[in-house]
Structure 1
Amino acid sequence: MSVRRGRLEKLLVVKKAEKDQASSEYQTAISQFETEGQTLYELLKKKEQLDEVLQVSLQTGIPIETLKQQQFFMGNLEKNLLHQQKKVSHARAFMNLKEEKLKEQSVECKKYEVLDNKEKLYWKQNDLKVEATFIDELSILQYSQHTNR
C-alpha cells in the first residue's frame, strides 16, 4: 500500500512557497513600519523636549536671536514630523496590503492542503479496496484448489 504523490501535492508545495514568500514580505513590512514609527516617536519626543526648553527659556528670559533660532528649528521639526507621519502612514498601508496578501495565500494554501488530504484519503481507500479484492481472489483460489483435491 503506497500513498501516491499526486499533482495536488506538487501544487501544494508551490502554494506553500508562495505563502512563505508572502509571510517574508509581511515581516519586512512590519519591520519597516516599526522603524518609521520609532523615527516618528523620536521626533515627537524631540519636539516635546524642545517645547519644554522653550517654555523654561521664556520664563527665565531669552535673547531674541536665540528665540528666532529655536522657532526656526521648531518649524523645521514640524516639517520633519509631517513628512515622517506620511512615511508612517505609507508604511502602515503597505503593511496592511502585505497582511491581506498573506491571508489570501494562507487560505489558498489551506484549500490545497484539504484537497491534497482528500486525494490521499481517496488513494488510500482505493489501495485498501484493491488489497481486499486481491485477498478475496487469493482466498477463493486457495479454496478452489483445496476443494479440487
Structure 2
Amino acid sequence: MKNLLVLTLLMFTFFASKAQIKVDSVALNKKRNVPVTQFGVASFYADKFEGQRTCTDVVFTQKKLTAACNTFPLNVWIKVTNLRNHKSVNVKINDRMHPSNPRLIDMSKSAALALGYTGHGLTKVKIEYLGKNKPDEDDIADNN
C-alpha cells in the first residue's frame, strides 16, 4: 500500500510538472519551448519583397511594423531592441525566413528605421515576447 502511494505521488508530480506553464519560455509547439528573450542579428527586407504575400497570407509592405522570425510563433507581438543605440520597436511576426538564414529576425524597413540601422544593414538585437494581443499604440515605438 505504501509503495502504491509513493508511485501515485511520483506519477502525479511528473505529470503536473509537464503541465505547468513555464514563465521563462513561450510554447512554439508541444515539442519545443522558445526563450522569451533572445539575442541575435537583425536584417531588414529588401524592397523586391514589397507586395508579395507572407506565409500568413498578408501582403507585405515596408510601411508596417512587421517581421519574419523562425523562432517565435506566427501572429505574435515582440519587442525588438537595437543593442547599439537602445532604440526599440514592437513588431508583429507574420512571416518566416528561409531555414538556412543565420539571422534571428528580418524586419520591415519602417521597423528598421525606428531602430536606426538601415544604414548598416544588420544590427545586434534583443527580442522579447509580448503576446498575441497588439500592444498599446503608445508602446509601438520607443525611440529614446
User: Same fold by TM-score, threshold 0.5 exceeded?
Assistant: no
* Max Rg structure: 1
TM range (shorter): under 0.3
Relative contact order higher in (CA < 8 Å, ≥ 6 apart)? 1
Question: Greater helix share, 1 or 2?
Answer: 1
**Structure with the largest fraction of strand:** 2
TM-score if structure 2 supplies the norm length?
0.27
